[in-house]
């Protein structure tokens, strides 16, 4: 049995101190301001929305680290910095002063929990699982919101629209790394469009077009997490995704093109797995072919072009300026071969001629994305023998390069969760 005592706290004109000014703190601050609280934020740096609220007089931002004595006049204190030691220090002072305390870093430090909220005007429903099952709280909240929307809908349009709960929905407590395609909303996949319809939070980058962003419903929170060239990033998208999913929210990380083709999807995928967050990759239409053919240029042609080697314009770590085909593999090239399983021996010989080493990892994916999908991984020196032993048949995709090792890294991250 839970020891929580449910109550609604009147905060109008009451002093609330929030230590931290990142994405998690911002969500807390929005709700506190809606309740009429007088909010003081303590943090050396802050998100743009918090700085704007400070400039407009909506809150008081102290541009410095927390110091003992900062919460003496507060009626309520919350921390959201990701720094557990700092949270423990603030908790100790709050306990001495008899102030109720909440920590986003450790639910065990909390005197109270910030509940899931279903807001229907005068009717407000707060839900809590004592921090044990935030995904369940989010799912119940969504069902209640859907029921209230259906009940209140009186016009013909709402009456004809299917209830949201009957639509394929994003799962609470899960992150979807979604490809937004090259820009034309018509090139967004059906699955991506459905996930946008039911997401709680959409994190998008600079390359997502305004037309695609226009498909996000007003019910979803939308946060820009992109990074302009030469500028620091204000929001850490991985931190934001982990935090939101941990609270039971369904999160769509919307990326231009395809999320794992020069889109940092691999790094984010491994970070989510290591943090124990459920995730799914939703491929998008890559600019590799779509933009080229939009300009009337096919990237392959049976008579003039039978190979595509994809490279990024960004320099890699330890990138070399050495020239010549023998340095190709050292520069981080990924080779992708279509329809080449039946000539695998020749592919291997060609790669050797380009200077690709015998220890270079190779993966072959048979029937990719289908129920009968099979994957074998080996080194260049052994792949022909192992493919024959596994009786790999077309259709299959061959991938050659260091990116194949990321599969092992991901498996290790998942195994560490068990």
Paired residues of 119 in beta bridges: 124
The whole-number pLDDT of residue 315 equals 53
Count CB-CB contacts under 10 A for residue 90: 28
**Distance between CA 368 and CA 355 in Å, rounded?**
28
Class of domain 300-412: alpha beta
Domain residue limits, the chain: 15-114, 117-166, 174-288, 300-412
| pLDDT at res. 156 | 40
Q: Where does 15-114 sit in CATH, by number?
A: 3.40.50.720
Catalytic residue annotation: 205, 227
Average pLDDT of adjacent 10-residue blocks, the chain of 418 residues: 78 95 88 93 91 93 94 94 90 95 87 81 79 69 74 52 52 90 89 92 89 89 72 70 87 92 86 89 87 73 74 57 51 79 92 92 85 90 96 89 82 72
Q: Return contacts of 158-162, CB within 8 angstroms, 24+ apart.
A: none
What is the pLDDT at residue 131? 66
Q: At 398, give phi and psi (nearest 5°).
A: -105, 130
Q: Which CATH superfamily is domain 174-288 in?
A: Tetrapyrrole methylase, N-terminal domain (3.40.1010.10)
Q: Name the token pair of 31.
A: 């709700």
93 C-beta neighbours (distance < 10 Å), count: 17
Cα 376 to Cα 188, 271, 359, distances in angstroms:
31, 24, 15
Q: What does the DSSP assignment read for 184-222?
A: -GGGS-HHHHHHHHH-SEEEE-TTS-HHHHTTS-TTSEE
Position 153 scores a pLDDT of: 62
329 neighbors 356 (Cβ within 8 angstroms): yes
Note the pTM of the prediction, 2 decimals: 0.60
Query: What does the alpha-carbon distance between residue 241 and residue 298 come to, in Å, rounded to a whole number?
Result: 37
**284 strand-pairing partners:** none
pLDDT for res 345: 95
| Contact (Cβ atoms closer than 8 angstroms) between residue 257 and residue 180 | yes
């Amino acid at each position: 049995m839970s020891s929580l005592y449910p109550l609604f706290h009147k905060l109008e004109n009451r002093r609330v101190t929030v230590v931290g000014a990142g994405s998690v703190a911002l969500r807390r601050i929005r709700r506190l301001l809606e309740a009429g609280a007088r909010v003081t934020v303590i943090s050396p740096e802050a998100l743009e929305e918090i700085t704007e609220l400070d400039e407009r007089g909506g809150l008081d931002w102290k541009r410095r680290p927390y110091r003992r004595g900062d919460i003496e006049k507060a009626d309520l204190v919350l921390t959201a910095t990701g720094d557990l030691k700092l949270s423990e220090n603030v908790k100790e002072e709050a306990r001495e002063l008899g102030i109720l305390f909440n920590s986003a870093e450790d639910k065990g430090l909390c005197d109270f929990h910030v509940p899931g909220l279903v807001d229907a005007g005068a009717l407000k429903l707060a839900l809590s699982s004592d921090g044990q099952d935030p995904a369940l709280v989010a799912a119940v909240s969504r069902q209640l919101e859907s029921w209230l929307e259906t009940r209140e809908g009186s016009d013909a349009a709402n009456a004809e629209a299917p209830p949201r709960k009957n639509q394929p929905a994003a799962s609470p407590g899960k992150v979807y790394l979604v490809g937004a395609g090259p820009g034309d909303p018509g090139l967004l996949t059906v699955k991506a469009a459905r996930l946008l319809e039911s997401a709680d939070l959409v994190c998008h980058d600079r390359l997502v077009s305004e037309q695609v962003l226009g498909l996000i419903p007003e019910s979803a929170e939308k946060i820009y997490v992109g990074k302009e060239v030469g500028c620091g990033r204000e929001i850490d998208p991985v931190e934001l995704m982990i935090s939101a999913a941990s609270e039971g929210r369904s999160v769509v990380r919307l990326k231009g093109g395809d999320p794992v083709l020069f889109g940092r999807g691999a790094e984010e995928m491994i970070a989510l797995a290591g943090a124990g967050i459920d995730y799914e990759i939703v491929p998008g239409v890559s600019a590799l072919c779509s933009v080229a053919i939009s300009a009337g240029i096919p990237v392959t042609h049976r008579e003039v072009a039978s190979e595509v080697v994809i490279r990024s314009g960004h320099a890699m770590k330890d990138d070399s300026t050495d020239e010549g085909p023998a340095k190709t593999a050292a520069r981080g090239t990924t080779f992708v071969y279509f329809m080449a399983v039946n000539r695998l021996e020749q592919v291997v010989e060609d790669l050797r001629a380009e200077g690709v080493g015998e220890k270079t990892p190779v993966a072959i994916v048979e029937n990719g994305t289908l129920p009968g999908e099979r994957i074998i991984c080996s080194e260049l020196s052994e792949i022909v023998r192992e493919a024959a032993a596994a009786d790999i048949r077309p259709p299959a995709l061959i991938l050659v390069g260091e990116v194949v090792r990321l599969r092992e890294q991901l498996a290790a991250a998942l195994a560490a969760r068990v």
